[in-house]
Homo-oligomer: A and B are copies of this chain.
Amino acid sequence: MSKIAESAGAAVADITDGRTIAIGGFGLCGTPSALIEALLQSGATDLHIITNNCGPDSSDVTRLLRAGRVRRVSASYIGDNSEFLNSYLGGAITVDLIPQGTLAEKLRSGGAGIPAFYTPTGVGTAVAQGGIPVRYGSGSGFAAEYSAPRHVAEFDGREYLLERSLTADFALVRAETADTIGNLRFRGAARNFNPLCAMAARVAIVEVQEVVEAGGIPPDDVHLPGVFISRVVDLGGRMRKPIERLRTTDPVPAGGGSHGL
């Protein structure tokens, strides 16, 4: 029962128009480039993309947008990206702006069968009150649609707002290693939203740097169990890992230490 797909193209072939797709990654880090490229090639359009932030103008998600394939985006941030910002402000796409922790929790809850939860995040703000522009009028510069207010309830004397969970038809995610039945290990901060997107989707597709046999990942070391993964695309060591902002430091002067507990 190997889950290894023939190719990235084959893995995304049944993603039809109008689907909701959760895409892992934080900017360029941990983003499934090969799968997004395959989605671009597939021609599927009118997509609702759920992804934390869309990365810079050079990102793969931006290429989907530029090709006119994105109807709606649910994200915590669309700055650093003039294409997304202009499409949003120009009324070409609908955008749900969601606090990052709430977005992470919505995906995790969606995958865990929890339909809604209360959170303190956003109480007393436009998230709770509604009124964040969701869609702008075409070229008008004015919002044509605003986010809806949230139900607010008090528990133990503190206010919380109710958030609905998110699920997706498909997830496109990236991991470092998979076994043949989809058990995954991530690497460093490239884990981020990837496990959560996979959990929230009906069909989760992962691209990986390497594939090992079932049992090749010790059971204590699996980051995400294969039960959440439907298809594995083996990039065979040819994974592209761009760096969004390269920063380095001068060698530490003699006697300089580091922080940490």
Contact = CB atoms under 8 A, between A and B. Distances in A.
A162 to B, nearest CB: 9
Interface of A: 1, 105, 109, 112-120, 153, 155-156, 158, 160, 164, 181, 185-188, 214, 219-221, 223, 226, 260-261
Nearest to A226: B261
Contacts of A113: 119-120
B119 A155 contact: no
A186 B220 contact: yes
Contacts of A260: 214
Contact of A1 (B155, B185, B261): B261
Contact of A221 (B116, B219, B221): B221
Contact of A220 (B117, B153, B188): B188
- The list of the 7 closest CB pairs from A to B, nearest first, reads A117-B117, A1-B261, A115-B155, A181-B261, A116-B118, A114-B117, A115-B118
A181 B158 CA distance: 32
14 contacts: A1-B261, A105-B112, A109-B117, A114-B118, A115-B155, A115-B156, A115-B160, A116-B118, A116-B153, A117-B118, A181-B261, A185-B220, A188-B219, A214-B261
